[in-house]
């Protein structure tokens, strides 16, 4: 801990704020024991269990976030998990969405930038709802065409008028001739000697879909902001649209940090496979973002600074480099850029070094810790609420679901150890009426999450068996 940090720690412990804390500037050397412990864990909850937290907490001078300073600034360090999510959601809601026009075939999943109105009456003309005969007046009817004529087919433009007492064969979807009073279904009529008879005369208007039955030209069909589902694409096409005004999706860029990462083959020579490059982009895409690139920058401070200074993305997501090691460059790069830290660490296990910042040009940056499950925790804690609130981005639950008002909850089957002060996010599977914690859920492990259907939000102190816990759904589960 540096002298500055010690001063901060003492000031905060005594209920004072320092200038560094007021500006939300990054602080380094966050004490933690989890990294040193993670190697020993075989995948149980021990990485995040009570003993971990107890020793961790002993070195943490500012477990409670500070509020309401004289200048109105807030301490952004080690925020409580619900508060960190709220800050991320606020950041997302502040984003402006740019309207763009997309052809129907590219518009799926976007949100409408404007209300969708009908460009035509639907149906656009009086339409036969059945195969049969268009008839005029009460029967029997004289056939207008020779018996073997196809009659009026779907797509025919202007069928000749039908005189009273006459009938003409007609197909489903065909324009009803002027003068027709009903359509008689083929199974209800019989033709003999060019005369059509029916045991019961059809009611006036039977099996005719009148023009404008579904909508009139100019009618409001869907509100701005509606998600474009396959059904919406169909409706828009039926109503005459070729391209749609939509909100542009946020563009995200993924920067994978770490010299130790291999992009192919098996781990060797002290190096490991990059597990986050293949995971983070698709995860963001499932949250309704356009991922423009995933780049591997190694542990190159200059390359990171340049990437952040030059980014044209709305959201930059970095992986690794959030802690205080000699090659952890995220905080220094943000400081050098003059970025504003909105969240600098979260009271959550795994993933407590995660961060959220606003870059000077307006893009947001989510810094995911390098331990792979800690990175998942950062995605769900910071990226997901930010994108859920950002106009133009997608929902998280399923590709087309709207955000539910009430988060899902489920009873925990079996006890889940908590952290004394921090929230734990625990990979779980649905099991009958509740959720069951998985094995292999250490911060460096993906084996648990790969079979999980959700992450259970275990409050500080843990949750006894049968307790209802909140679930964070995975975008594909």
Ligand X SMILES: Nc1nc2c(c(=O)[nH]1)N[C@H]1C(S)=C(S)[C@@H](COP(=O)(O)OP(=O)(O)OC[C@H]3O[C@@H](n4cnc5c(N)ncnc54)[C@H](O)[C@@H]3O)O[C@H]1N2
List contacts with ligand MOO (CB under 6 A): 34-35, 38, 349-352, 369, 371, 374, 443
Contact between 300 and ligand X by CB under 6 A: the answer reads: no
Name the segment binding ligand X (CB under 6 A); options: 92-100, 128-136, 320-328, 459-467.
320-328
The β-bridge relationship of strands 190-192 and 434-437 is unpaired
Pick one of ligand X, ligand MOO, none as the site partner of residue 372 (Cβ within 5 to 8 A by kind): ligand X
CA pair distance 422, 290, nearest whole angstrom? 32
Pick one of ligand X, ligand MOO, none as the site partner of residue 132 (Cβ within 5 to 8 A by kind): none
Contact between 373 and ligand X by CB under 6 A: the answer reads: no
How far, in whole angstroms, is CA 364 from its chain's centroid? Answer: 17
Contact between 123 and ligand X by CB under 6 A: the answer reads: no
- In the complex with ligand MOO, the residue whose CB is nearer, 371 or 396, is 371
**List of long-range contacts for 413-417, beta carbons under 8 Å, 24+ apart:** 413/465, 414/465, 415/462, 415/463, 415/464, 415/465, 416/45, 416/456, 416/458, 416/462, 416/463, 416/469, 417/45, 417/48, 417/49, 417/50, 417/462
Residues in the chain: 477
CA pair distance 12, 50, nearest whole angstrom? 24
DSSP 8-state code for residue 152: B
Contact between 442 and ligand X by CB under 6 A: the answer reads: no
CA pair distance 427, 444, nearest whole angstrom? 13
Cβ of residue 377: shortest distance to ligand X, in angstroms? Answer: 9
Pick one of ligand MOO, ligand X, none as the site partner of residue 311 (Cβ within 5 to 8 A by kind): none
Contact between 383 and ligand X by CB under 6 A: the answer reads: no
- In the complex with ligand MOO, the residue whose CB is nearer, 219 or 260, is 260
Closest CA to 125 of 185, 186, 173: 173
- In the complex with ligand MOO, the residue whose CB is nearer, 38 or 181, is 38
Contact between 382 and ligand X by CB under 6 A: the answer reads: no
- In the complex with ligand X, the residue whose CB is nearer, 35 or 63, is 35
How far, in whole angstroms, is CA 149 from its chain's centroid? Answer: 55
- In the complex with ligand X, the residue whose CB is nearer, 34 or 423, is 34
Cβ of residue 408: shortest distance to ligand X, in angstroms? Answer: 27
DSSP 8-state code for residue 255: E
Q: Point out which residues bind ligand X (CB under 6 A).
A: 30, 32, 34-35, 256, 258, 260-261, 272, 274-277, 319-325, 328, 350, 352-353, 369-372, 374, 443
């Amino acid at each position: 801990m540096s002298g500055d940090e010690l001063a901060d720690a003492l000031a905060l412990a005594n209920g004072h704020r320092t200038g560094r804390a007021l500006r939300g500037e990054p602080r380094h050397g966050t004490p933690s024991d989890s990294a040193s412990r993670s190697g020993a864990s075989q995948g149980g909850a021990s990485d995040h269990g009570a003993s971990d937290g107890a020793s961790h907490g002993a070195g943490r001078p500012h477990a409670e976030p500070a509020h309401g300073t004289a200048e109105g600034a807030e301490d952004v360090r080690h925020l409580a998990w619900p508060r960190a999510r709220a800050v991320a959601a606020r950041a997302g809601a502040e984003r402006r969405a740019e309207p763009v026009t997309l052809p129907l075939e590219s518009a799926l999943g976007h949100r409408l930038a404007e209300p969708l109105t009908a460009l035509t009456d639907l149906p656009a003309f009086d339409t036969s709802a059945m195969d049969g005969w268009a008839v005029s007046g009460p029967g029997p009817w004289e056939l207008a065409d020779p018996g073997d004529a196809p009659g009026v087919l779907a797509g025919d433009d202007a069928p000749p008028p039908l005189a009273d007492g006459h009938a003409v064969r007609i197909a489903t979807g065909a324009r009803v001739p002027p003068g027709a009073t009903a359509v008689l279904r083929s199974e209800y009529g019989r033709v003999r000697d060019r005369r059509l008879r029916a045991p019961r005369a059809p009611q006036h208007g039977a099996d005719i879909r009148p023009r404008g039955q579904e909508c009139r030209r100019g009618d409001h069909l869907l509100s701005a902001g509606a998600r474009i589902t396959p059904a919406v694409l169909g409706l828009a096409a039926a109503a005459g649209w070729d391209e749609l005004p939509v909100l542009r999706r946020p563009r995200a860029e993924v920067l994978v940090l770490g010299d130790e990462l291999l992009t192919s083959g098996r781990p060797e020579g002290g190096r490991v496979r990059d597990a986050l490059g293949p995971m983070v982009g698709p995860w963001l895409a499932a949250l309704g973002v356009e991922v423009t690139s995933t780049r591997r920058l190694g542990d190159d401070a200059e390359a990171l600074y340049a990437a952040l200074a030059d980014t044209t993305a709305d959201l930059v997501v970095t992986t690794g480099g959030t802690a205080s090691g000699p090659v952890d460059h995220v905080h220094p790069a943000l400081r050098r850029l003059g970025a504003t830290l909105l969240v600098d660490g979260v009271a959550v296990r795994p993933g407590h070094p995660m961060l959220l910042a606003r870059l000077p040009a307006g893009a947001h940056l989510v810094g995911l810790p390098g331990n792979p499950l800690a990175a998942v925790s950062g995605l769900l804690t910071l990226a997901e609420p930010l994108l859920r609130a950002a106009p133009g981005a997608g929902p998280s639950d399923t590709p087309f679901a709207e955000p539910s008002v009430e988060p899902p909850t489920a009873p925990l089957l079996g006890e889940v150890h908590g952290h004394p002060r921090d929230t734990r996010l625990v990979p779980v599977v649905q099991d009958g009426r509740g959720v069951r914690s998985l094995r292999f859920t250490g911060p460096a492990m993906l084996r648990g999450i790969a079979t999980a259907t959700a992450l259970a939000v275990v409050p500080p102190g843990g949750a006894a068996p049968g307790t209802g816990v909140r679930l964070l759904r995975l975008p594909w589960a």
